[in-house]
Structure 1
Amino acid sequence: MKNRDQALSRRDFVRSASLSGLTLMLGVSVPGLGKSTSEIINISSADDQGTELIPWISISQSGQVTLLNHRSEMGQGTFQAIPQILAEELEVNLDQVVVLSAPANQRKYGPQPTEGSFSVRGWYKQLLQVGATARQMLIEAAGNQWNVPVSECLADNGQVIHRPTGRKLGYGALVEVAARQTPPQNVPLKKRREYKLIGKSLPRKDIPLKTNGSAVFGLDKKVPGMLYAVVERNPRFRGKVKRFDDSKTKAVPGVKKVLVVKRAVFGNLYEGVAVVATSLWAAMQGRKVLKVEWNDDGFEHLDSEQLSAQMRANLKKPAPSAPLETALRNAAKQLEAVYETPYQSHSCMEPLNCIAHVQENRIEIWGPIQEAVWIQNDLSERFGVPKENIMVNMTFLGGGFGRKGFTDYPYEAALISQAVKAPVQVVWTREDDMSGGPFRTGAFYSCKGGIDEKGNITAFQTVTAAQWFWQEWRPEPFPDPEPLKENHGNVDGLLSPYLKAIPQYSFGGVATRAPIPVMWWRSVYASTGGFASESFIDELAHAAAKDPLEFRRNHLPDARYQAFIDRLEAVSQWKSRGKNAGWGVAITESFGSICAHVVSVSRKTDGKLKIDKVIALMDCGWYVNPDIIRAQVEGSIIMGLGAAILHATTFKDGKAVEQNFNTYPMPRITDSPEIDVHIMDNDENPGGVGEPGLPPFAPALCNAIFDLTGKRMRTLPFKLDDL
């Protein structure tokens, strides 16, 4: 399977997929364009019909199969998984195909965000159906050519075989006939037991590209006539440029222009001064001698201590739920706890960067883009350019975690390109990337619970105090907190069946207002909410004198969760755990998947605490590639480890303190425990994989520490060596 780095128009797609003659290209019509449901369409007739569609499969007369990946690849595996789904029903070997990445075009390719762990679970049915339809058309073409019943033919490994005679025809030889057919609808799909590719740990085809240096990431991309830019941005985020002195900057050889530029972050415009030059080095040297005076009036310059104090105060604002308070008073035991989680930087391996070329009524973008369509729509609205004249080209991403799904950095690059009338690559330094935001918000959770004489939860409440990223679009103050509603709502990460077993529960929250920009971070609020809910569930289990895993089993009546706990108990050998180590468990639910971690900790010979092993179990329903799942869970655990015990973003006088890895340390190999990942097999609908593996780690670790030391860890991050 090969990758081609190119912008993909329909003409490019046809040209790249076909050497000569007719080409069989199949896609899916987009509902809402005169149709109520999706429909498989032969693209050769789509232009005549005025139909917009997703062209996923192309087969040329030479036999070349081209598959389209309409999602960005940032390490999570869509470059492998989406073609693997298509190839399964198409009956081709992945070594035989070329994979192309689609540009932004919502009318042709549908929604294209790589977020919410949605790539497979949102598109697998359409992908399977397109592959099956193409296969059936080729089989029918062969049956007609041989004048035999179609039922006597089957497809295998890029060819159609006539069972009685053993005759074979490659797909390329059948394209001319198949390309003129009307695609059949609702072709039966394979049974799961018949899969040859799906469910198999096939080697990822992007890995060789990324190890031999041929993969094109955003920082690798170059276009003719390109200039380079770096931006001195206000470290207090909302401040404005008062004045700047660029006399020394313009004296640096290669510097072409210095200008004020704005970055749109939700409902705010953040200002900076851009230095544009003929090389990145010249731009960076020019920035070093640039002098900027900021106007930071009109907003608070908060410290982390002030933010934390505000969140603690906000936990007390909602009026109580009367039914829940009654249930708490009547409980045999009551418990309260507050959990605190910090702000976090995304800190992707590849810092932010973007190339923009703004021309008359046309804009083209290249870079590590996580949400191509949103960027296309944003630029269209801000520049007044029709969407069809805006091309957003996705390169490989060196990590994303939600940060590269935002619109601010392409908009900033486009403004600079417009000002200098040339393509410009804007590069964020590591310090820019880690201190410029938006960040994962800090979050505080106040939990209350009651249990009866039998050890069952009778009342459960969580109040959340955090910045909510959607409030950034609403500059007006939020209304005063309302009374908490009983038996209403949820908290991110909490297993939904708990609410069936608990008679009285309530959830609510208060928005913390601050000039610190915040947004989604891997697993969004499940990374903080899961820590609070599963830590508190564990505290309730111990208050009830119950085994923590059995306590969870008793409150999760659904058959899927019972089977999940059975498997978790077996793979972790929970019942045979030793007495010289602490064991902790946490189970969270997010993005359609259930994930559990069992963590074991012990003391080293010097008395310091160490993490021995993490056993993970993922239930993401129907899945494509087990190795991708294991890799994502392993990566999530390491990311969760860093956020739990190593790093946080703090603020002093309104500025981010941690600006590089010397003060925001990442887990090293020596910090990494043994990790053992297991996957549930069932017939549930597919869930996400890239995000659900993170939330259980911190609560499982803290629950294990309690099991060993008797000390509850309710504030992240903390240092293992201090325990």
Structure 2
Amino acid sequence: MSGTDEKAEIAAAKNPPKKKGKWTRRAFIGAGALTGGALIVGVAVRPGNPTGKLKSMLATGDGEALINAWVKIAPDNIVTAIVPHAEMGQGAHSALAQMLADELDADWNKVEIMEAPGVALYAGADIGREFLVPELEVPNILEPTVQGTFLKLADMMSIGFTGGSFSIRGAGNRSLRTAGAAARQMLIAAAAEKWGVPAAEISTAKSMLTHTASGKSATYGEFAAAAALQDMPVKPPRKTPDQYRLMGKAIARKDIPAKVDGSAIFGIDAKVDGMKYAAVKAPPVTGARVEKMDASAAKSMPGILQILNMGDFVAVIADGYWQAQQALGTITAAYSKTEGDSADQTAIFAAYAKALDAAGADGGDVESEKGDAAAAFASAAKKVKAEYQAPFLAHATMEPMNCTARVKDGRCDLWVGTQNPLGVRRDVAAAIGIGEDNVTVHNAYLGGGFGRRSDSDVPVMAARLAKAAGYPVKMIWSREEDTAQDHYRPSAISRFEAGIDANGKLISWNNIHTHSFDPKEAPTMPYYDIDNHLIRKVDVPMHLRFGPWRSVDHSQHSWFIESFLDEVSEAAGKDPLEMRRMLLQNAPRHLAVLNKAAEMAGWGKPLPAGHGRGIAIAASFGSIVAEVAEVDLTSVKPRVTKVFCCADVGFAMNPGGVKAQMESAVIDGLSAALYGEITVKDGAVQQSNFHDYQMLRINEAPQIIVEIINGDPDRPGGAGEPGLPPVAPAVTNAIRAAGGKRIYQLPIAKHFA
């Protein structure tokens, strides 16, 4: 028998799902009948949830009924997994469908994927639950209330985003697996009723129901309508790892063929009847307004339809994007004065330093404290102090920022690739003065997100333009506009003091840094066992917009912490690997990852002169990643030749996908560590394109070797972000090991000009 364990199947057979009556307060997961013969299964929290929009979006056949759908099974036996997260290259669509399909015992070759619409019923209840109370388990009778509370909270806050590596460990491990398991039980119950046999005797495999004793079998599609009449169990038994058929397998992603042959639709590919094109330019200093402009030359250029001063930006609308962009380049404008006009790179970091100085030895906000760091430092045999600086970083997504908008008859339609459809819906509605229910977000593939497409600024601009123009507008940002108007990863300073006793043991750790955004544990390194530590932060105003960047605060603090730990190791006369092993004795999963990475890299084996290895570890987003970088310093600038990566993601739902994410994070992290820097002069960003905001070139890419550990099969961790934090410290530590200087300020390239 396939599927859930045998005892659970017998229990389910003794108490089979009853035929569906009216919705009760206990209805957490429900089903809706499609009179055309298809079954739609979903997650319901309370009776009376509005379903009209979902029906029109997901179930368009005559007489179809829909209740908060996650799963659709059609008469032709095609299973459609309706996933609540965006696909931006990370493989979330396929991995989520893989989890659902495994619990459903679906035929993977007959599984299709649809992204859930950006409406309230798909608010990210699982995101909030995973973030706030990941270990919470409640009795069946309370499950609807708990999940309902989180759904309501997510709806109120318009939380429906893709980011934070929440897709698999949140929606996937909760809603989608549960919905798949429940749908499977409903299908079995329907078949048992029709065939007059015990449910426990029916097996499922590859979207087929089979009763071996009678020789009866049928497709899921044949029983879809009947299954829809069955009540859904609140917490159906789910598979254990030994029963997985799809989960844990490196199955090819469903989105790749379309991306290879060019048929995949990204936001920038949107086509709407009557659509025109817009190019835009905002004031160079954040917060400034367009006071006046001279568009005389632009007006006479071919194809130009409208030139608009929107206050916070200038727009040219034309028959084609190239025409609009060329005309935009001829417009001159004067901008209002702002407090940020005098900001420059030196002044920004001076302000950070001043705030840290003012905090002194015990000021600032305490983030983590244990023992008496000051007293331990005072008694230390050796003392180490250092200051590290990290720059602003841009996202530089490969698909230019864009959105197509149509505002007509009190409604707004948006064609865009966004990480946060619900947030976009809320913000656009507020910006153009209509109700949220009148905004529809048609989400597409994202050509890179990294946090940038979680903001609503671009869709809001497009909607405002479409409303002002009176016809649909596709707005595209130039690369220059994207670089100059990003929501940046913040720059920061972090200062450290460490005390070492006569035996080389780290006995005191004192750290104070600027800013603290997300996640809060990023600076606190809870896995390292240091008897006396004090970690604090001070907030300093920034005039630039800032936003989430891949791995968020871990991207800075892992470099700060792991770089300084190497410095402490050097002062203590200890091997950096051994120092970390000493600090991880009470963290066996972390220690296993560290040791595996070191083993992969051949740690301790001699390297040629001018070559070095560096190691770093970081735990983030439910996963643990250790990396060893090999660096060649024999030429003008450092060359990273190899990166060895070991990742414990709890359980890898798709090992191939996890490996790809680790590889991409290494490349992203190397770009940032080697070259990434946004600088400011007279309040404006100085960089404009890839010539001065450089990415890692393919000829610079190292060999990347990845190993995966399943350290906790019951708790899958994230994969999209955790591979990035160890990259920068592993590289800078390797530079030091190769005989180079210790790097205290990123990017690395500025030290080898």
* Aligned counterpart, 2:573: 545
**Matches of residues 312-327 of structure 1 in structure 2 within 5 Å?**
312-321=353-362, 323-327=372-376
1:273-320 deviations in Å (ceiling 9; x for gaps): 111122212211221222212222444332212212222222212131
1:65-102 deviations in Å (ceiling 9; x for gaps): 11112211111111211111111111112220221122
In structure 2, what is the Cα distance between the partners aligned to 1:678 and 1:301? 49
Code of the aligned partner of 1:59: I
Contact 1:328 1:458 (8 Å CA) reproduced: yes
**Matches of residues 568-647 of structure 1 in structure 2 within 5 Å?**
568-576=597-605, 578=607, 580=609, 581-604=611-634, 609-647=638-676
1:240 aligned to 289, 299, 306, which one? 289
1:215 aligned to 264, 269, 287, which one? 264
In the superposition, relative to structure 1, how do residues 89 and 292 fare at CA in structure 2: closer, same or farther (>3 Å)? Answer: same
Please state whether the residue corresponding to 1:623 is helix, strand or coil: coil
Alignment of 1:673 with 2:702, yes or no, is yes
In the superposition, relative to structure 1, how do residues 578 and 279 fare at CA in structure 2: closer, same or farther (>3 Å)? Answer: closer
Q: Give the C-alpha shift of residue 619 in structure 1.
A: 1.3
Q: Give the C-alpha shift of residue 721 in structure 1.
A: 8.6
In structure 2, what is the Cα distance between the partners aligned to 1:32 and 1:427? 42
Q: Give the C-alpha shift of residue 573 in structure 1.
A: 2.8
* Aligned counterpart, 2:88: 74
1:294 aligned to 319, 322, 335, which one? 335
2:724 aligned to 682, 694, 714, which one? 694
* Aligned counterpart, 2:251: 202
In structure 2, what is the Cα distance between the partners aligned to 1:657 and 1:297? 17
In structure 2, what is the Cα distance between the partners aligned to 1:721 and 1:356? 45
In structure 2, what is the Cα distance between the partners aligned to 1:373 and 1:344? 26
Contact 1:349 1:399 (8 Å CA) reproduced: yes
Q: Give the C-alpha shift of residue 189 in structure 1.
A: 1.0
Q: Give the C-alpha shift of residue 533 in structure 1.
A: 0.5
Alignment of 1:102 with 2:151, yes or no, is no
Q: Give the C-alpha shift of residue 567 in structure 1.
A: 2.6
In the superposition, relative to structure 1, how do residues 298 and 330 fare at CA in structure 2: closer, same or farther (>3 Å)? Answer: closer
Q: Give the C-alpha shift of residue 201 in structure 1.
A: 0.7
Contact 2:400 2:478 (8 Å CA) reproduced: yes
* Aligned counterpart, 1:529: 557
Alignment of 1:25 with 2:37, yes or no, is no
2:79 aligned to 65, 74, 89, which one? 65
Q: Give the C-alpha shift of residue 412 in structure 1.
A: 0.9
In structure 2, what is the Cα distance between the partners aligned to 1:177 and 1:693? 46
1:511 aligned to 528, 532, 539, which one? 539
Q: TM-score, normalised by structure 2?
A: 0.84
* Aligned counterpart, 2:6: none
Q: TM-score, normalised by structure 1?
A: 0.87
Please state whether the residue corresponding to 1:276 is helix, strand or coil: strand
Please state whether the residue corresponding to 1:121 is helix, strand or coil: helix
Size of the aligned set, in residue pairs, is 664
Alignment of 1:173 with 2:214, yes or no, is no
Alignment of 1:144 with 2:193, yes or no, is yes
In structure 2, what is the Cα distance between the partners aligned to 1:377 and 1:182? 34
* Aligned counterpart, 1:446: 495
Code of the aligned partner of 1:26: V
* Aligned counterpart, 1:309: 350
Q: Give the C-alpha shift of residue 199 in structure 1.
A: 0.8
Q: Give the C-alpha shift of residue 617 in structure 1.
A: 1.0
* Aligned counterpart, 1:406: 455
Task: Give ranges in structure 1 of 5+ residues lacking alignment.
Answer: 1-16, 35-42, 263-270, 471-488
Task: Give ranges in structure 2 of 5+ residues lacking alignment.
Answer: 1-31, 50-57, 125-158, 364-371
Contact 1:53 1:109 (8 Å CA) reproduced: no
* Aligned counterpart, 2:17: none
Alignment of 1:341 with 2:355, yes or no, is no
Q: Give the C-alpha shift of residue 382 in structure 1.
A: 3.2
Farther-moved stretch of structure 1 (700-709 vs 569-578): 569-578
In structure 1, what is the Cα distance between the partners aligned to 2:35 and 2:193? 23
In structure 2, what is the Cα distance between the partners aligned to 1:19 and 1:245? 59
Code of the aligned partner of 2:72: S
In the superposition, relative to structure 1, how do residues 547 and 645 fare at CA in structure 2: closer, same or farther (>3 Å)? Answer: same
**Matches of residues 225-236 of structure 1 in structure 2 within 5 Å?**
225-236=274-285
In structure 2, what is the Cα distance between the partners aligned to 1:358 and 1:638? 40
Q: Give the C-alpha shift of residue 445 in structure 1.
A: 0.7
2:679 aligned to 639, 650, 654, which one? 650
Q: Give the C-alpha shift of residue 364 in structure 1.
A: 1.4
Q: Give the C-alpha shift of residue 579 in structure 1.
A: 6.3
Q: Give the C-alpha shift of residue 577 in structure 1.
A: 5.0
Please state whether the residue corresponding to 2:496 is helix, strand or coil: strand
**Matches of residues 6-25 of structure 1 in structure 2 within 5 Å?**
21-25=36-40
Q: Give the C-alpha shift of residue 694 in structure 1.
A: 0.6
In structure 1, what is the Cα distance between the partners aligned to 2:320 and 2:104? 47
In structure 1, what is the Cα distance between the partners aligned to 2:333 and 2:399? 27
In structure 2, what is the Cα distance between the partners aligned to 1:62 and 1:654? 60
1:204-239 deviations in Å (ceiling 9; x for gaps): 111111111100111111111112111121111222
Contact 1:577 1:583 (8 Å CA) reproduced: no
1:660 aligned to 680, 689, 701, which one? 689
Code of the aligned partner of 1:82: L
Contact 1:67 1:99 (8 Å CA) reproduced: yes
Q: Please tell me the root mean square deviation across aligned C-alpha atoms, in Å.
A: 2.5
In structure 2, what is the Cα distance between the partners aligned to 1:233 and 1:32? 47
Please state whether the residue corresponding to 2:169 is helix, strand or coil: coil
Q: Give the C-alpha shift of residue 169 in structure 1.
A: 0.8
In structure 2, what is the Cα distance between the partners aligned to 1:199 and 1:103? 28
In structure 2, what is the Cα distance between the partners aligned to 1:531 and 1:76? 24
In the superposition, relative to structure 1, how do residues 237 and 591 fare at CA in structure 2: closer, same or farther (>3 Å)? Answer: same
In structure 2, what is the Cα distance between the partners aligned to 1:508 and 1:261? 42
Code of the aligned partner of 1:306: A
Contact 1:493 1:588 (8 Å CA) reproduced: no
In structure 2, what is the Cα distance between the partners aligned to 1:196 and 1:469? 40
Code of the aligned partner of 2:393: Q
Please state whether the residue corresponding to 1:317 is helix, strand or coil: helix
* Aligned counterpart, 1:483: none
Code of the aligned partner of 2:602: Q
In structure 1, what is the Cα distance between the partners aligned to 2:726 and 2:36? 54
Contact 2:285 2:341 (8 Å CA) reproduced: no
Alignment of 1:280 with 2:280, yes or no, is no
Identity %: 35
In the superposition, relative to structure 1, how do residues 424 and 533 fare at CA in structure 2: closer, same or farther (>3 Å)? Answer: same
Alignment of 1:565 with 2:594, yes or no, is yes
Code of the aligned partner of 2:415: W
Please state whether the residue corresponding to 1:300 is helix, strand or coil: helix
* Aligned counterpart, 1:496: 526
Contact 1:235 1:656 (8 Å CA) reproduced: yes
2:409 aligned to 351, 360, 368, which one? 360
* Aligned counterpart, 2:512: 463
In the superposition, relative to structure 1, how do residues 233 and 642 fare at CA in structure 2: closer, same or farther (>3 Å)? Answer: same
In the superposition, relative to structure 1, how do residues 302 and 402 fare at CA in structure 2: closer, same or farther (>3 Å)? Answer: same
